Chain A
Amino acid sequence: MSITLTEKAASHVTGYIARRGKGIGLRLGVRTTGCSGMAYKLEFADQANPDDLEFESHGVKVLVDPKSLPYIDGTELDYAREGLNEGFKFRNPNVKDECGCGESFNV
């Protein structure tokens, strides 16, 4: 069981949390919504819940609720730039198909 961040993603997250002024890490998860079934959740974490699973990657704490983990286990979070746009990218080995835009997916 693991969730990892690329070094690039981790440095961006560290910077964002520092500028935000609060937060213990990142929360990753999934929600059952969207055109293909599932959608990613990517949020700042201000506190850990009792059931949360914790991972650490390049100094960034990642919290995942146990229900979400099977859908994203093994995911590597990357930071990428495409044209003028930039942001985080989930490299999720569990995905079977995703909608055209990639915002929601199926396992």
Chain B
Amino acid sequence: MALLQIAEPGMSSAPHQHRLAVGIDLGTTNSLVASVRSGTAVCLTDAQGRALLPSVVRYHSSGAVDVGDLAQQSQAEDSRNTIVSVKRFMGRGVSDVAHIENAPYDFVDAPGMLQIRTCAGVRSPVEVSAEILRVLRARAEASLGGPLVGAVVTVPAYFDEAQRQATKEAARLAGLEVLRLLNEPTAAAIAYGLDHAVEGVYAVFDLGGGTFDISILRLTQGVFEVLATNGDAALGGDDFDHRVFCWLLEQCGLHQLGPRDTRLLLTKAREAKEALTLHASARVTAQLDNGEVIEATLTSEIFTDITRTLVQKTLAPTRKALRDAALQVSDVKGVVMVGGSTRMPQIQQAVGAFFGCEPLNNLDPDKVVALGAAMQADVLAGNKAAGDDWLLLDVIPLSLGIETMGELVERIVPRNSTLPVARAQEFTTFKDGQTAMRFHVVQGERERVGDCRSLAHFELRGIPPMVAGAARIRVMFQVDADGLLSVTAREISTGVEAAVSVKPAFGLADEDISRMLRDSFEHAKEDMHLRALNEARVDAQRLIEAVHSALEADHELLESEERAAIDCRIEELQSAMKSEDHRAVKTATDALNRVTDTFAARRMDRQVAQVLKGRRVNELDF
């Protein structure tokens, strides 16, 4: 007979009407699947009792696919067809991925997202991720005894539209209904039951193998809101291993090492680091390829000493996130620890000292994200009684906006806006009689379009011809609860409309979010100058266009030397526009404005005269 789970009061499901739902942590190194059984979230294990599935996929020429440990074992022997860390490639082009030349794959730079040529054919990162998800789905269905109604899949808080969309597609390809994409820090907070906790601000400190993320969440009436996120995409446990590795080289007087010895010592370094979690010192012994045996003892003090700068490196983004959220350390009620590297006592201490409170660490930091996702999935699948329900709010990691004249970015949805969000802004035409407008949707914090990430292009046609600046075009940005974006542009008088629902231009010029944020701080001043310059240039261009069309219409109103003066100022302005000095552009613009004053006045007189011609004063309606 069937195996039953305990339901919430009044929530027993009818036979064959299971509401089986899972949470999936689709990680860079490892992936997990969890579900709520008899009211408790648990990670589901494979037949060998392992919860962690290495995020590694190996393709065979026969068409067979290995996923997990089996694939990981063959990494060295068949590295070209064994894909590791595919999460780094999701929604990215070849030019987007840092150090891509170190990856042993045959990349195909397909439009949008890169692809990988394997012996089984060309595969996209979405397809590779789908293989991992398929294994987790099969594991879940075997464990829960039936088909799943859906899954909550977690993504890093900084994932952009393209990366989120790609994650959703991978799930769909694996036959999973995505109930929701959930930000990893939010999932971790849920796992600790903070949704039932005291209202207030919480921090989620996530130090994984290769990445560091800090998120600031606010809980109000059972509702989570991500106030700010920050991090370092190139900081993780691997860096700590590397410090120990370098220390070993120094201690043992080693210099040039072969790749095998390097791998061996890196493994020994990691083991020593892990041993220090529970012990005060760790003994390292290794036999090198040349038969030499090395020995060293790593103490907690030495380790603290050699990794101090790395620990400090986690605190700078933490401070920034707090500043973004406009909060003080004392506002934070609790800190959740996520990621295996937070087991290091040095990290626990530093975080505790920084926030002035004991971090929450009693759940397995490797599993906490999957457990929280499972709890959210349980709610979304309808297994909780009414009133137990709760809603989550997330934020936009980077501002969304559109390109305006002068290659500048007009921000429409600012960074850290809570989701879902809808924002609209009106724009107008630049030229007389302009009937179409091209929209370029971008994401980023910089002032110049080229420094931001391009998401989509679309066109609005059928704008009725009007003078420049008369048309009113309302551009609406909507971001749904999953962080997916749709943009519509509508001309108000006619109602003509064009829309794009990102259709993400998978991966264009940029590296990673933290880098983009850092750039925006570092380049703040030159960005300000650039904006001033480009705005001045746009103003100048608009004036030149206006003068040209006036000259065409009413050139007979000007004496030849007046005309020469105007032409001369136009030329001066055009050459000023080529300079980098926005004040020079502005001065030349003002000069052209002044020299055309008389001309403008005469044109005005003539128009008034035409209107008045042959009419009596009392006929006029002032």
Contacts and interface: CB of A to CB of B under 8 A. Distances in A.
On whether the two chains bind one another, the answer is yes
Interface of A: 12-13, 15-16, 19-20, 26-27, 31, 33-35, 39-46, 80, 82-90, 98-99, 101-104
6 contacts: A39-B14, A39-B15, A84-B45, A87-B145, A98-B1, A99-B15
B5 A87 contact: yes
B88 interface: no
A82 B3 contact: yes
B212 to A, nearest CB: 30
Nearest to A92: B1
Pick the most buried of A39, A85, A101: most chain B CB atoms within 10 A of its CB: A85
Contact of A43 (B6, B40, B139, B144): B6
10 tightest Cβ-Cβ pairs between the two chains A and B: A102-B1, A87-B3, A103-B15, A34-B15, A84-B143, A84-B142, A104-B15, A102-B2, A85-B145, A41-B12
B39 A16 contact: yes
A40 B139 CA distance: 26
B6 A88 contact: yes
B531 interface: no
A83 B14 CA distance: 24
B40 A20 contact: yes
A98 B11 CA distance: 22
A85 B4 contact: no
Contact of B4 (A20, A35, A88): A88
Contact of B39 (A20, A34, A99): A20
A42 B5 contact: yes
Interface of B: 1-12, 14-16, 37-40, 44-47, 139, 142-145
Pick the most buried of B5, B7, B9, B10: most chain A CB atoms within 10 A of its CB: B9
Given A16-B6, A34-B15, A85 B40 contact: no
A102 B39 CA distance: 22
Contact of A35 (B3, B11, B16, B144): B16
A33 B1 CA distance: 17
Nearest to B11: A43
A43 B10 contact: yes
Given A20-B39, A44-B39, A86 B12 contact: no
A101 B3 CA distance: 10
Given A19-B39, A101-B1, 6 more contacts: A20-B39, A33-B15, A44-B6, A87-B4, A103-B2, A104-B15
Pick the most buried of A40, A45, A80: most chain B CB atoms within 10 A of its CB: A40
B40 A101 contact: no
A12 B46 CA distance: 21
B6 A33 contact: no
A34 to B, nearest CB: 4
Contacts of A16: 6, 38-40
A35 B16 CA distance: 9
Q: Which secondary structure characterizes the binding site on chain A? A: strand
A90 B1 contact: yes
A87 B37 contact: yes
Nearest to A31: B12
Contact of B9 (A15, A44, A82, A84): A44
A16 B7 CA distance: 11
Contacts of A42: 4-7, 12
A34 B114 CA distance: 50
Contacts of B143: 84-86
Pick the most buried of A19, A34, A43, A102: most chain B CB atoms within 10 A of its CB: A43
Contacts of A40: 4, 12
B160 to A, nearest CB: 36
Given A43-B10, A101-B15, A101-B16, A89 B40 contact: no
Nearest to A16: B38
Contacts of A27: 9
B3 A44 contact: no
A27 B8 CA distance: 10
A43 B12 contact: yes
Contacts of A103: 1-2, 15-16
Contacts of B38: 12, 16, 87-88
Contacts of A34: 14-16
B142 A85 contact: yes
A83 B44 CA distance: 12
B3 A85 contact: yes
A44 B12 CA distance: 10
Contacts of B14: 31, 33-34, 39
Pick the most buried of A13, A45, A99, A103: most chain B CB atoms within 10 A of its CB: A103
A86 B144 CA distance: 8
Nearest to B40: A19
A92 B47 CA distance: 30
A33 B3 CA distance: 18
A45 B9 CA distance: 6
Contacts of B4: 40, 42, 87-90
Contacts of B47: 83-84
Nearest to A41: B12
A85 to B, nearest CB: 4
